[in-house]
Amino acid sequence: MELSKLPLVFLLISHIHSGHTEETLKAKVSIKPAQHVFRGETVTLRCDIDGGGITSWQYSWYKDDSLYTYSELQEHTFTSVNESVTGKYSCYGAERGGSRTSNISDEVTLTVSETPKAKVSVKPDHRVFRGETVTLRCDIDGEGVTSWRYVWYKYSAFYSSSELQEHTFSSVTESDAGKYFCYGAERGGSRTSNINDVVTLTVSDRAQAGLSVSPQKWLTEGDSVTLICEVYGSSTEWTFSWFTLNASSDNKYNYQKLSGSSRGAGGNYTVSSAALKHTGVYVCRAERGKPAYNTTYSNKQPVWVTVVSPRVSLIISPSRTQHFTFVSLSLSCEDQSNSDRWRVRRYTESEQLQDCSSSVWGSETGSTCTINSTNTSDTGVYWCQSESGEKYHPVNITVHSGVILESPVHPVTEGDTLTLRCLYQHSTPSNLRADFYKDGSLIQNQTTEMIISTVSKSHEGFYYCKHSERGESPKSWISVRVSPSESQISVLHTLSSVLAVCPYLLVTVVLIFKCCRMRGETSD
């Protein structure tokens, strides 16, 4: 029950008016362990009265200007505080068996708050890779303690203790993986924070980067293409770089970084308008942290750009994109000037970038490369490349031991006729009566050849054939080249018409001018 301060005020006034001149005694409040404490702690308020020679006091305690309690004990203890005891406390003493009192002490504020909670964060990520630099950080939320000692546990066993908030693994290994938590202990005091939730650190083998292409790797000049790089199993704080892959004369690879290719989150590198120079084999890599930690180079990803009228053509004999095994195949680079500075290069399904002049798979004569006996390992993309690195006319060649599809090497022009045949090496004749498919859908069945008399852009796609006994062929992409548009023809027609009538217009203008001049002279 709280009591008013009014009796104390009357008592002091009566002392003044009755002529008492004794020294006024001063009371002072102290709080242990501190003025800011945490819920559940034991807190002691102590009232000290200096001077006067009085040894026996009755202590009165006030909270927020109202009498809180009184006692003959100098200390008042809260055994397990909570927020309800927060307030401003003061005290004064009254002499037991006498009339003397002290002044009321200055107020001292006691603050009770929830026990601070420790929280662990991991940088760069909870999942890291062997060799990375990893930092565990212990943050303690709450006021009242300004100086902590940080205690770390791993799998509920003491791990380390430090005055530093962070614990760093300079080159993490699998042995550092585990479940970690921390708490704070007050330096020079007895208070502690709560223990945080457990954080799991996973350490994996070296990080692997993966590269994909969207929407596809076969492009027509002017198309847009995006290289997408990602780190398997991780997506935090990576910076990405992209490279083109080149092979030297001794078939050793070197990586040429694309200018301005370092990007932040997202890992996308976009070419808005593809050109011939973008034909090539690409890889990517990611890094993060200081010092920088690098992933492995990604898988190789080719991008092929074709043009409507390349100045250099790859001539293939036999002239088709699919070929049987154990046959001869000739590939020649031909340009308008009959130069022999072009060489045939290839990129096989085994991700090998090879030059015909420095390999065992073919023999080179000028700009012609001959494969004497084809093998399925010869499947890949072939193109013509100059000494300066220009790349022209990539063609996808498939070598297959069973049924193959006979399709044109070069893009088909709109309006032309397209003929497809299904061939088998060990039959006479080699033409098979088969079913033909486009993009997985049957379009013609039981025929020796499929003919599209007037090709349009809608006929572009992946084609293959299937025989009931011999099996099916690999797929081949049929590209359709757009013919000159009607608008272009119309412009040309209009221009030619204008040019045709120009002489007549000129004569008409001259005659009109002379006529007007003669009329003027007559009127004069």
Q: What is the CATH number of the domain that holds 469?
A: 2.60.40.10
Domain that holds residue 47: 25-113
Q: What is the pLDDT of residue 159?
A: 94
Angstrom distance (rounded) from CA 352 to CA 346: 8
Q: Are residues 421 and 345 in the same domain?
A: yes
On whether residue 241 sits in a domain, the answer given is yes
On whether residue 17 sits in a domain, the answer given is no
Q: Are residues 83 and 127 in the same domain?
A: no
Residues of the chain with pLDDT under 50: 1-21, 486-496, 498-499, 501-502, 524
Q: Give yes or no for a cis peptide into 116 (omega within 30° of 0).
A: no
Angstrom distance (rounded) from CA 132 to CA 123: 10
Nearest to 379 by CA among 324, 458, 328: 324
Q: What is the pLDDT of residue 340?
A: 67
Q: What is the pLDDT of residue 142?
A: 76
Name the phi and psi angles at 379, rounded to 5. Answer: -60, 130
Q: What is the pLDDT of residue 2?
A: 44
pTM confidence score: 0.68
Number of independent structural domains in the chain: 4
Q: What DSSP string runs through 146-179?
A: --EEEEEEETTEEEEEESSSEEEESS--GGG-EE
Q: Are residues 283 and 334 in the same domain?
A: no
Cα atoms in the Cβ-side hemisphere of radius 13 Å centred on 449: 13
Q: Are residues 233 and 193 in the same domain?
A: no
CB 514 within 8 A of CB 522: no
Q: What is the pLDDT of residue 509?
A: 54
Q: Are residues 279 and 396 in the same domain?
A: no
Q: Are residues 339 and 412 in the same domain?
A: yes
